[in-house]
Structure 1
Amino acid sequence: MFTQLECYNIADKLIKERAMNWSGIFTLHNFTNLIDILVVWFLIYNLILMVRGTKAVQLLRGIVFILLIKIVSVWIGLSTVSWIMDQVINWGVIAIVVIFQPEIRRGLEHLGRGSLFVRGRQENEAAKKMISSLDKAIQYMSKRRIGALITIQMNTGLEEYIETGIDIDAEVSGELLINIFIPNTPLHDGAVIIKNNRVAVAAAYLPLSQSNLIPKELGTRHRAAVGISELTDAMTVVISEETGEVSITQNNELLRGMTQDDYLKYFRDQLLTDESQQTHRTLINTISAFIENHFKGGR
């Protein structure tokens, strides 16, 4: 049998050993590894957001395909194939740097000047101006029961749907939106898509929702608005040509019968951000625009 002192010493030793084991888990090295993993996850997540809906997805698929060939060739011992893949990877990285050197330099210059913060504020001002233009167009068309379908790109790219429309690439204005949707004009059918606070295209085709939950009295415009909200995070404004009712869809949700105060509050909540969010969104939009301009296949 152990004496009381021996029991105390054994217990004290066990406690110290446990404490040492737990302290090893929370070392600076492990904390640094955790931060490293979180940063990589953050970068990959935002890269996925940027390339969704763009032709850059095809480029990434090609890169993944090359990496898979490299891994398989090493695994089964195909030395020649492995060597070729090494050359493709090595020279491919150099080629990307050489081809896009002006854009990389320009981006680094913007970053060095801190212009991302300025552009963030400018984008907020542009969003406020766009909201004012949307309000003017919505009020005009709603009172006159002019049907309209306006989709605003958020984080998910809409290149697949932009390619179906007619190029506009103009500043958003109430007058422009009204003229597009005037009945019997060439562009009034289909959707207007707004990207980066500019009217990208008109008469674009959106996917129609097959949901049975959509009320029967709602027509094709509402089904298209719900359809795009099922596949992307885009915000879509619908004006009924039968009743003049204003509706908004986003994230598979249909908000009907919105008053002017309702939709203006919704626009501000979704499109206006604080300074830190502006900087993050501006950085993402800058990189996204670079990717789309070079890999969107001729548009």
Structure 2
Amino acid sequence: MSGVLGIIDIWFLPVGWRDIIDVAVVTLLVYQVYRLIRGTIAVQIAFALLGLYILNVAVSALGLTTLRTLFGVVGDVFVLALIIVFAPEIRQALFLVGRNPIVRRFVATAPRQKITAEIVAALDEMSRTRMGSLIAFARSTGLRNYIESGTRIQADVERDLLVSIFWHNSPLHDGAVIVQGQKIEAARCILPVSDARELDPHLGLRHRAAIGLSERTDAFVIVTSEETGRISVAEGGKLDVGLSLGEVEARLNAAFSPDRGRTTPASGAEASSSDSAATPEA
């Protein structure tokens, strides 16, 4: 090796630091591609294509003119065939790259307004059809323990998905949906139930769970009643019942506003005056 960036002689081949980096990067890329397609039919296709490539090299080395011409014609569409055959894997690879935190620093994420619009649209339908629901939004306090108690989903926040989850015949409709960031992390999550004695006795389990989570964390929780269709919001240990869609939207925007104040959980859970209705709520 000569100098700081010297050259290593391997037999008759001079190997520099650029060559070492080149081989390392290619090795890493091949390994990552293998991890991506491992366990799928794409592995068999990849080995078949590798075999054809080796055969092409052998034909060229042996000087077999006819076969070389045939492989030359196939080679013209080889790249296009790779893209078509491995389209699902390429899509998945691009998705994983897009989710990388380093890449996301330079790429604009979906606006919060779109998520709010999907939530409000889902609440509108669930309220009209009296479909019970419980949606918790994580803020600064992590909800990992509660997420792990449910079924992981990690899907985009969409109206149809939320309505499908809380449909009464859905296996995921019991429990809470937890939204963290811009994703629905999990469904059928178990939340802590408030045991505050001053709560209205007609409040159902969903409302008590919403209050319970807001007592222990700074989560923002929305509930729709299966009995009345009313929409409620739990925040800081306090439950506000019978809110309009406009009020819920405003509260949701304020809850995730960059300049919002730090939410301090209340010492005791309180219910708004509209909780005094005699109708029991699920």
Normalising by structure 1, what TM-score? Answer: 0.51
- The AA in structure 1 aligned to 2:121 is K
CA distance in 1: counterparts of 2:227 and 2:243, whole angstroms: 15
CA distance in 1: counterparts of 2:130 and 2:151, whole angstroms: 24
Instruction: Report whether the alignment pairs 1:131 with 2:119.
Output: no
Residue aligned with 2:172, SS: coil
Residues 57-92 of structure 1: CA deviation (Å, up to 9, x unaligned) = xxxxxxxxxxxxxxxxxxxxxxxxxxxxxxxxxxxx
Q: Indicate the structure with greater helix content.
A: 1
Instruction: Report whether the alignment pairs 1:205 with 2:187.
Output: no
Q: Which residue of 2 aligns with 1:271?
A: 256
- The AA in structure 1 aligned to 2:231 is V
CA distance in 2: counterparts of 1:180 and 1:199, whole angstroms: 11
Does the 8 A contact of 1:128 with 1:272 survive in 2? no
- The AA in structure 1 aligned to 2:191 is L
- The AA in structure 2 aligned to 1:185 is S
Larger Rg: 2
Identity of aligned residues (%): 36
Residue aligned with 1:261, SS: helix
Does the 8 A contact of 1:237 with 1:246 survive in 2? yes
Residue aligned with 1:257, SS: strand
Q: Which residue of 2 aligns with 1:71?
A: none
Q: Which residue of 2 aligns with 1:174?
A: 159
Instruction: Report whether the alignment pairs 1:161 with 2:116.
Output: no
Residue aligned with 1:248, SS: strand
CA-CA distance at 1:166 after TM superposition = 0.2
CA distance in 2: counterparts of 1:215 and 1:197, whole angstroms: 33
- The AA in structure 1 aligned to 2:125 is Y
Q: Which residue of 1 aligns with 2:46?
A: none
CA-CA distance at 1:145 after TM superposition = 0.3
Q: CA RMSD in A?
A: 1.9
CA distance in 2: counterparts of 1:213 and 1:234, whole angstroms: 21
Does the 8 A contact of 1:190 with 1:205 survive in 2? yes
Instruction: Report whether the alignment pairs 1:190 with 2:175.
Output: yes
Find the partner of 1:228 among 213, 217, 223.
213
Residues 136-166 of structure 1: CA deviation (Å, up to 9, x unaligned) = 1000000010000000000000001001000
CA-CA distance at 1:133 after TM superposition = 0.5
Q: Indicate the structure with greater strand content.
A: 2
CA-CA distance at 1:273 after TM superposition = 2.8
Q: Which residue of 2 aligns with 1:151?
A: 136
CA-CA distance at 1:196 after TM superposition = 1.1
Structure with larger RCO (C-alpha < 8 A, sep 6+) = 1
CA distance in 1: counterparts of 2:253 and 2:176, whole angstroms: 22
Residues 31-74 of structure 1: CA deviation (Å, up to 9, x unaligned) = xxxxxxxxxxxxxxxxxxxxxxxxxxxxxxxxxxxxxxxxxxxx
Equivalences for residues 41-60 of structure 1 within 5 A: none
Instruction: Report whether the alignment pairs 1:254 with 2:239.
Output: yes
Q: Please list every run of 5 or more consecutive structure 2 residues that lacks an aligned counterpart in the other structure.
A: 1-99, 261-282
CA-CA distance at 1:272 after TM superposition = 3.4
CA-CA distance at 1:250 after TM superposition = 1.1
CA-CA distance at 1:251 after TM superposition = 1.1
Moved over 6 A (4+): none
User: Number of paired residues?
Assistant: 161
CA distance in 1: counterparts of 2:115 and 2:197, whole angstroms: 34
Residue aligned with 2:136, SS: strand
